[in-house]
Amino acid sequence: MNRWAAFRLGYVARRNRVFASPRFQHWAARLPLIRWIARSRAKGAFDLLAGFAYSQVLRAYVEGRLFDILKDGPLGAGAIAARMGLPEDAALTLLRAGRPLMLSEEPAPDHWTLGEQGAVFASNPGVQAMVRHHRLLYADLADPLALLRADRKEPSALSRYWTYAGALQGVTERGEDTAEYSALMAASQHFVADEVLATVSFGKVARLLDVGGGHGAFLRHIGTAWPHLKLGLFDLPEVAAKGAQLLGEALGPARATPHPGNFFSDSIPQGYDMVSLVRILHDHDDAPAQALLANIHKSLAPGSRLLIAEPMARIAGAEAMGEAFFGLYLWAMGSGRPRSPAEIIAMTRAAGFASARFVATAQAVNASVIIATA
């Protein structure tokens, strides 16, 4: 251990002893100069305690279609209760619970409408699909220690969903079976694509291959913004075929080429000057993720680039998203983990890439970006 690490460990130990002291807490709460720090710490501690209740309030708004109801507002609590099939006092409790979360608002007595956050959720069905999806994670986390003690390969609610969703990717007519999966993918890929488009220029890219590209949602966003790009989609045969069909319908059949295969066992198609991995790497444990990077590197000519876009760990301002949310999400899924930019860059170098750099994004909760050069 170096001197800096030893100093930091000592500092953290002393800080924690001070913060844990009831005398310090009493004093800090009354000293004007640092009262705001004490209040912030107290609020943060309560939010940790109450966070599950907040998420369940949001879930009730989504599953009770309350956002859609409030779009017709302002409405009285009685009218809202009737449309939700709830007693009026229950509906009022839910409306009041959402008020401090900015999901609902009461500009005048008994005149309820959407709050600021509520307006965002009401306008985006894909985000609401993500809220519905998280019920699976909450079920797995009902006993978090039991989840962590269990073999990761034991089925969980989340792993069963993704196994089923993976089987559905090649299915074209299953109605409601695929509705949640499609909405979830469309919303999440849209968020990632927006971050990539805001931070990466494709002006000097002629051919872009998306590895594990699913039904082409990411390529559709990038291809729409950069109409000169020739696009390739590499995925399992039935998935790649469907993705290329959808891309052809959206962007023109001449722009999209399907490449069927398994990105672990088959060669990655050559001739592309950029390859993208969008929310793929963090889905896999270290050994297969490293093998995937090496497989991609073998396909690239010198100077070609690999774009990695996904939520990452230890990003300033988004730390909780990386290791608290995605750490447990991927554990419950049974595969993968969130990695820091430094870890991913080290993996690209081990795979043979000559260099790699981190690209900060405006909304790191959606994705951060790393670009590696072969």
pLDDT in tens, 295-352: 999 999 999 999 999 999 999 999 999 999 999 999 999 999 999 999 999 999 999 9
Enumerate the CATH 3.40.50.150 domain ranges in the chain, comma separated.
144-373
- Alpha helices for 206-357 (secondary structure H): 217-225, 237-251, 286-299, 319, 326-333, 341-350
For residue 156, what are its two tokens?
Answer: 């969980």
Residues 98-125 pLDDT 10s: 999 999 999 999 999 999 999 999 998 8
pLDDT of 287 over the 60 cut: yes
pLDDT class for 277, splitting at 50, 70, 90? very high
CA distance 337 to 251: 34
Long-range Cβ contacts of 62-69 (<8 Å, 24+ apart): 62/121, 62/128, 62/131, 62/132, 63/132, 64/94, 66/94, 66/98, 66/104, 67/103, 67/114, 67/118, 67/121, 67/122, 67/128, 68/122
Enumerate the CATH 1.10.10.10 domain ranges in the chain, comma separated.
31-122
pLDDT class for 173, splitting at 50, 70, 90? very low
pLDDT class for 187, splitting at 50, 70, 90? confident
pLDDT at 179: 60
State in words which class domain 31-122 has. Answer: mainly alpha
Q: Which CATH architecture has domain 144-373?
A: 3-Layer(aba) Sandwich (3.40)
CA distances from 103 to 30, 134, 273 (A): 33, 18, 45
Percent helix, strand and coil across the chain, each to the nearest 5: 55, 15, 30
* Residue from 307, 313, 314, 317 nearest 362 by CA: 317
Instruction: Supply the pTM of this predicted model.
Output: 0.86
For residue 294, what are its two tokens?
Answer: 């090496």
